Structures are given as structure tokens and as C-alpha cells.
Amino acid sequence: MPDIAGRKAELRRDARARREAIAPALRIEAAFALAEHVAADEVFDGLDVVGAYLPIGSEIDPRPAMTALADRRLRLAAPAIVAGELEFRELLRDGELERQGLGTVAPGAGARVLEPDVLLVPLLAFDRRGARIGYGRGFYDRAIARLLAVRPRLVTVGLAFDAQEVDEVPVEPHDRFLDRILTESGVRIPSASGAPR
């Protein structure tokens, strides 16, 4: 049995290949299906700020869902990378975007910094417990840990294609289980949430 870092690396490669193989028509359908699911999901009731993301590569496109959340009066924020950590900056219509490195863009340094009540979390693979794996730099793991200190009721919602589900994502002590997973087929409530036990 390879070590946990090796298993995560292999899982990342496989999951990325599966995500990249998803046909364009399904990607578009899936993005609009997500918007319908978030429009109906009571988990967003009464929340103020959603930390979303601007998609890169083959990630599921959260922007129709973001529009649905803006229609529900949530304010939108997107992650900028500041000193190696994520900072969520208010995303306004017509606001300028700047390159953040690693192929991402976000509102520039003049944008308001917001502390999200709910995070839409990109991922490469997830399992039924709500364990997830990303690009392997720990940005989301650290951002969730930091935000929980100021937003103890922070809700984490993974966005993914059904094809990204795996039997078991290896977890380390710093990994946190997602509270919810939304895919094109609907809402999954994971069997675990919060820190691994």
C-alpha cells in the first residue's frame, strides 16, 4: 500500500483525467442543473456572503449557480491568493479581474475583502463521507480552518460532476469533510462533516 501522499497523487491524476473527459454538452447541462439545485436549496437561506470561484481547466462552471445565489440576495466573493493564502474579494458586475497566478483570476486588491458564510469548493474527487481532494496545495483546507475561527457556522458545499465521486478519498488530520455536495444530479448530504475522527 503506497503512502497517503502517493495515493492522493494517483487519485488526483485519475480524477483529473475523468473530469477532462466529460463532454462539452454535459458540462453546460451540469452547470445549469447546479443553478437549479442552489436556487431550491434551503442551506443558503438567510446567508449573506458566498465564497465562490471562477472556474479553471475542467472544473464544473459555478457561474450560473452564482447568478442564482445573487438572485437570492447573497453577495458573491472569489478567492485571491495573498501571501500563499486565500482572501475572498467581493465580485461585482463590471469589476476588474486580475491574474492571481496558478491560472486563476480574481477581483483586484481594491475590492472589499469579505468573510464568507458559505463556500462553494472546487474539487477533483469526493467520496460519500464528504472527503475531498483538490490540487494538493492545501489552499482550501487552510482557508476553511481559518474561516471557521471567524465564522463557526461556515457551510462548505463541494461542487462537482457525478463522475468525480470515488469510493474513498484518503484523509489526513488537516482534511475537513464537506457539509454538502452538489452535482448535476442533485444535493448529497455526506455521511460525515467537519474534521475527520
Ligand X SMILES: Nc1nc2c(c(=O)[nH]1)N(C=O)[C@@H](CNc1ccc(C(=O)N[C@@H](CCC(=O)O)C(=O)O)cc1)CN2
Which 89-128 residues touch ligand X, going by CB under 6 A? Answer: 102-104, 122
Which 85-144 residues touch ligand ATP, going by CB under 6 A? Answer: 133-142
DSSP one-letter code for 21:
T
**Helices in 21-151 by DSSP H: which ranges?**
24-40, 63-71, 139-150
Are the beta carbons of 195 and 158 closer than 8 angstroms? Answer: no
CB of 56 to ligand X, least distance (A): 4
Which 40-59 residues touch ligand X, going by CB under 6 A? Answer: 53-59
Among 50, 60, 74, 79, binds ligand X (CB under 6 A): 79
Residue 84 contact, options ligand ATP, ligand X, none, Cβ 5-8 Å cut-off depending on partner type: none
Asked if 170 interacts with ligand ATP (CB under 6 A), we say: no
Asked if 177 interacts with ligand ATP (CB under 6 A), we say: no
> Binders of ligand X: how many residues, by CB under 6 A?
19
- The answer to whether the annotation marks 138 as part of a ligand binding site is yes
- The answer to whether the annotation marks 137 as part of a ligand binding site is yes
Query: Rounded distance, CA 142 to CA 79, Å?
Result: 13
Reduced to 3 states (helix: H, G, I; strand: E, B; else coil), residue 36 is: helix
DSSP 116-171: -SEEEE--SEE-TT--EE-SSS-HHHHHHHHHHHH-TT-EEEEE--GGGB-S----
174's CB contacts (< 8 A; 6+ apart) are 138, 141, 145
Are the beta carbons of 166 and 190 closer than 8 angstroms? Answer: no
**Residue 136's CB: how many other CB atoms inside 10 A?**
11
- The answer to whether the annotation marks 136 as part of a ligand binding site is yes
Among 22, 139, 165, 170, binds ligand X (CB under 6 A): 139
> Binders of ligand ATP: how many residues, by CB under 6 A?
15
Binding site for ligand X (CB under 6 A): 53-59, 79, 81, 86, 102-104, 122, 134-135, 137, 139-140
Per the annotation, binding residues for ATP are 8-12, 132-140
Binding site for ligand ATP (CB under 6 A): 8, 133-142, 145, 172, 174-175
